[in-house]
Copies of this chain bind each other. A is one copy, B any other.
Amino acid sequence: MNISTKRTIWLHPEQTDCVQVLDQRVLPHQIQVVDLRTVAEVVAAIRNMTVRGAPLIGATAAFGVYFACKEAAQDDNPEAYFARSVQQLRESRPTAVNLFWALQQMEATLAPMLDFASKAPLALKTAISLVEADVEVCRGIGEQGLPILQAASKAKNGNTLNILTHCNAGRLGCIEWGTITAPIYMAFEQGMDLHVWVDETRPRNQGSSLTAWELSQAGIPHTVIVDNAGGHLMQHGMVDLVLVGADRVTRKGDTANKIGTYLKALAAHDNQTPFYVALPSTTIDWNIQDGLGEIPIEMRSPDEVRSIQGWDGTATRTVWLTPPNSPALNVGFDVTPARLITGFITERGVCAANESGLLSLFPEFQTV
């Protein structure tokens, strides 16, 4: 097994029954590893965003099912304990569909086994295979997306290709490679002259803290901008391509992603800037059509808006931004209508952002 510290989640190298993750709440200023050993710890890590990003949430939850099997085996009522645990995992975050997909995969695999003592090793094996599969899927997204970047770079006639992204759909949101970063890493390794505009992505600043960090680790030229700036850059021809991830994509192509994605899609549309969504096919929710009406949008704590966390020179510190008596609203995601999306980059290929486009790559979902 090849889970190394270059990944976002891995088995503890010395201790059994312990999964380790990079604590994404303290990046980029501190690199801290968190041990996960129980269902409760996994639920908390997903909920408090120690881990985040649709694919990584799914992978972490899969290990949570392994812990659920082990804990259930010790309980007087193992079936009820297990069901309750899976339910807690399912309710840890509402928007990204990969979480539910991973839990379904785990449950389907474990269903035939009768006792939880024997389910546990199978759960561990399955979780590991989901992790390995995510790595391959992201590599596939990279290979499928690379030609888009190559064509866009060629059209620049020797000038730098400027890509804008929102939030973190990088390796930190996955296991390795990332979704939007996979083609970027591959293009950069091939020597492409590229530069990434990194949206800060308030309120949790996944762009300025995570995407900027992983790009700087890889030596990829990038510049952090506030979320307000992308439209201006597009108006002035400073963005050649927008590349974002997804938390849930409907059958018709409507795309839930980090709050603010819709605004960038509008600006891309207004300036004829190509706007691509990179996603593993596990992000597609084949059961729903209308993104605005059917995708549940997570509401998070207003304090994430009212305050911010940063490095004061010696420690990570929270400072308060708003007047003490001003309320705030914290909407986690928005939905970009399919009409604003140039195309989807999946592990099986690139397609139009509509039902027939998606079905051309995934014909097995013709009927669900």
Binding site for B on A (CB under 8 A): 28-29, 197-198, 200-203, 205, 208-209, 212-213, 215-216, 222-233, 235-236, 258-260, 262-264, 266-267, 270, 292, 297, 305-313, 317-323, 325-331, 333-335
B305→A312 contact, CB < 8 A: no
Cα-based distance from A292 to B28 in the complex (angstroms): 36
10 smallest beta-carbon distances between A and B, as pairs: A228-B260, A310-B319, A232-B334, A28-B323, A266-B266, A202-B226, A212-B326, A224-B328, A263-B263, A228-B259
A245 to chain B, nearest CB (A): 15
B319→A232 contact, CB < 8 A: no
B29→A260 contact, CB < 8 A: no
Contact residues in B for A319 (Cβ distance below 8 Å): 308-312, 317, 319
User: What would 12 more interface pairs be, CB under 8 Å, given A208-B305, A231-B334, A262-B267?
Assistant: A200-B321, A201-B228, A223-B327, A224-B322, A224-B328, A228-B259, A228-B263, A229-B329, A307-B310, A311-B320, A317-B317, A319-B319
Query: What are 27 pairs between A and B in contact, CB < 8 Å?
Result: A28-B322, A28-B323, A197-B329, A200-B321, A209-B322, A209-B323, A215-B326, A216-B323, A225-B305, A225-B328, A225-B329, A226-B227, A229-B259, A229-B329, A232-B334, A235-B262, A263-B264, A263-B267, A266-B270, A307-B310, A308-B308, A308-B310, A308-B321, A309-B319, A312-B312, A312-B318, A312-B320
Contact residues in B for A317 (Cβ distance below 8 Å): 312, 317, 319
Contact residues in B for A208 (Cβ distance below 8 Å): 305-306, 321-322, 326
Cα-based distance from A25 to B317 in the complex (angstroms): 20
The A interface, classified by DSSP as helix, strand, loop or mixed, is mixed
A187 to chain B, nearest CB (A): 20
Given A225-B305, A328-B224, A329-B225, CB of A231 within 8 Å of CB of B263: yes
Cα-based distance from A186 to B181 in the complex (angstroms): 50
Cα-based distance from A322 to B223 in the complex (angstroms): 10
Question: Which of B198, B267, B326 has a CB less than 8 Å from the CB of A224?
Answer: B326
Contact residues in B for A215 (Cβ distance below 8 Å): 326
B331→A229 contact, CB < 8 A: yes
A220 to chain B, nearest CB (A): 11
Cα-based distance from A236 to B295 in the complex (angstroms): 13
Contact residues in B for A223 (Cβ distance below 8 Å): 326-329
Cα-based distance from A263 to B270 in the complex (angstroms): 10
User: In the complex, which residue of chain B has the Cβ closest to the Cβ of A261?
Assistant: B228
Cα-based distance from A310 to B321 in the complex (angstroms): 5
Cα-based distance from A248 to B272 in the complex (angstroms): 26
Contact residues in B for A325 (Cβ distance below 8 Å): 216
A307 to chain B, nearest CB (A): 7
A244 to chain B, nearest CB (A): 12
B212→A226 contact, CB < 8 A: no
Contact residues in B for A236 (Cβ distance below 8 Å): 292
Given A259-B232, A322-B209, CB of A200 within 8 Å of CB of B202: yes
Cα-based distance from A313 to B307 in the complex (angstroms): 11
Cα-based distance from A233 to B335 in the complex (angstroms): 11
A216→B312 contact, CB < 8 A: no
Contact residues in B for A222 (Cβ distance below 8 Å): 326-327
